[in-house]
Structure 1
């Protein structure tokens, strides 16, 4: 289930990027002021990339990101990266050590691949919500109602609607 949900939210991201004009992707958003939509996309994708490239070693450190400028300035690179992530996300669950920076020291905690996939899903949705705000001024963009909304919120709203009928 977690693999399918991640693939779906990444597909929403890809569908969004196909609509987006290059200047609205790469330049600082007038709404966000200090960042671009592309920077948010890069950040999302690089966390997935960390999980997938470090999976085999069993130690994941999200601080070890590439911070690839091409992913935030070239929408086609970002779309290609999404497709690559979607094609390689189907890995068996296993224990993973999560390595985190704590100032000048590092801390490690136990996690699992599926738990980190869930984290990446929620992280992606969180950034989609920020991107959605930036898109309010872009009349040509069409986003699904689920874009930037947690799956638990979608399920909750559906349960309220069905109980009112």
Structure 2
């Protein structure tokens, strides 16, 4: 599992190396979030897990910080997460944690649910890959260039596509 976690973070790192600072901060054509804002959001989730002391609080976000405007800072944060993961003992993955998240639409509704550190890392990776798909679109809109097909592709989708190729 560690390899999956690290590979997910490595995809972000590889992507960031392709960008100029202006591409990182450019807003989406439809006025949506920039690549930097998406990256900050992805990292917020991983750091909510890494910094947890038994409570993974996904509501502690770092909106409007330098991370949204500085790809070098995002790379440094990714390196920090990779170091943390490499040092995380295997038995910690089954450690129980409480997860806090807002599930309200019209009003705030904070809930706490029980989980494990490993399950939350799986969630953070899946969440990151979902955002990578959006980052891929933003990059292609900005540059007209394509990225590797695997970037932003869910593992289950990759498995499905491999199986379809064998059927033909």
Q: Same fold (TM over 0.5)?
A: yes
Distance 1:139 1:60 in 2: 37
| Structure 1 range deviating more: 7-16 or 137-146 | 137-146
CA contact (8 A) 1:48 1:120 kept: yes
CA distance in 1, matches of 2:47, 2:150: 24
Structure 2 gaps, min length 5: none
**1:98 matched residue in structure 2:** 99
Change over 3 Å in CA distance of 1:142–1:6 after alignment to 2: farther
Helix, strand or coil for the counterpart of 1:109? strand
Q: How many residues align?
A: 160
Q: Deviation digits for residues 25-48 of structure 1, max 9, x if unmatched?
A: 012122x42211100000001110
**Residue 20 of structure 1 aligns with which residue?**
19
Aligned 1:44-59 pairs, distance under 5 A: 44-54=42-52, 57-59=53-55
Does the 8 Å contact 1:9/1:125 carry over to 2?
Answer: yes
The TM-score with structure 1 as length reference comes to 0.88
Q: 1:68 to 1:80 in 2, by over 3 A?
A: farther
Secondary structure at 2:68 match in 1: helix
Asked if 1:126 corresponds to 2:130, the answer is: yes
* Cα drift, residue 12 of structure 1: 1.1
- The two structures have a TM-score, normalised by structure 2, of 0.87
1:46, 1:67 within 8 Å by CA — same for their partners in 2?
no
1:87 counterpart (80, 83, 90): 83
- Between the two structures, name the one with larger relative contact order (CA 8 Å, sep ≥ 6): 1
Which structure 1 residue ranges, 5 or more long, are not aligned?
A: none
Alpha-carbon offset, residue 163 of structure 1: 2.9
Find the aligned partners of 1:68 and 1:4 in 2 and give their Cα distance: 31
Aligned with 2:36 (options 28, 35, 38):
38
Which stretches of structure 1, 4 residues or more, deviate above 6 A after TM superposition?
Answer: none
**Backbone CA RMSD of aligned residues:** 1.8
